Structure 1
Amino acid sequence: YVTSSSRPSSSTVTVQMKLGSHPDVALAEVLSKVQGVRGTLPDASKDPVIVKGTGQQFAMMYISMQNPNMTKEQLTEYIERVIRPRISTVEGVANVQVFGAQEYSMRIWIDPVRLAARGATAVDVLTAINNSNFLSAPGNTQNEYVVSSITVHSTLQTPEAFAQLPIRSTDGQVVRLRD
């Protein structure tokens, strides 16, 4: 079925296809029909923009997660690191969004005098943090008989982990964030 809406300088036509319709065939048919009426549009009008969608605008499923043994930040981190990548790889999943996320954050106060005394700069600190603190979802490795998940623990999780972070190394002396 077809629905449309218009307002000054803009019109939207939405074509809903039957379940099981091949999106590329439907897109070709729509393109053909649009080209057929293009000549009847006002001369000043821009070329129509055609976007193929597969129901991505509407959620097909909502999943709620909670864990009484985790903080909201820990649960969010677990969802982003483990759950979201796994669901994203399921065939037919177009998009995964996380609502209500509580992201973990760490505030780091830099003493520029102490930093300079150790031959380091704020840029060194920023570079070290960015290089060591990231989310990774490498996926799976498999052969004919076995599928194994690959897990990378790359995110700094605790104040202690941040404190141990090496910032700079000169002549065998390592300057850590705690210094």
Structure 2
Amino acid sequence: MKKILFAALFLCISVTMALADTVSIKQFTIKENPFARQEIAIVATDTAGLVQENVSGKFAFTINGFDNELTFQSGTAFYRHKVQKSAFMYIKHKNEAGTHSGLYYIYKRGDKLTPLHISWMWLVAIPLIIIFAGYLFKRFIILAVIVLVIFIYFNHSNGLSIPTFFESIFDGLKHAVTG
């Protein structure tokens, strides 16, 4: 009887451990890699922006359209590709909680990298402001078109393609609606 009771207790404990809550990444940010020059680190954060040090293991990310498996240790993973010049970086992580993404502009000055998060609202607001200013001041419509073309060229030459531009906007809208 004791053996059956012990076996049942052991089975209950092992099932409970097997069904334990898995660690998932819901938010992340990128920073300059402190250990390597011209590389970035992806940091799993919570809603307050604090590092989630319990995140460890391999997680699938899509960076600028390429699938990467990043190894997290204490909430930080290192992206082992050198950043040669200032560029946009669109990072997306998909898990059971949904898709989490972010658009960053990596500003390179000398050997220092400065990641700047770009909100989807700015991607919508800047072209709308240019179009509205051109519409408001009919004399400057040609100037507004030229500025809009320069804006599109700057984005494209720094790695932000039109599909990525719209994907970033739609992901932001989806997260704004669903919370």
TM-score by length of 2: 0.18
Higher Cα radius of gyration: 1
Which structure exhibits the higher relative contact order, with contacts defined as CA atoms closer than 8 Å and separated by 6 or more residues? Answer: 2
Normalised TM-score (structure 1) = 0.18
Report which of the two has the higher share of helix: 2
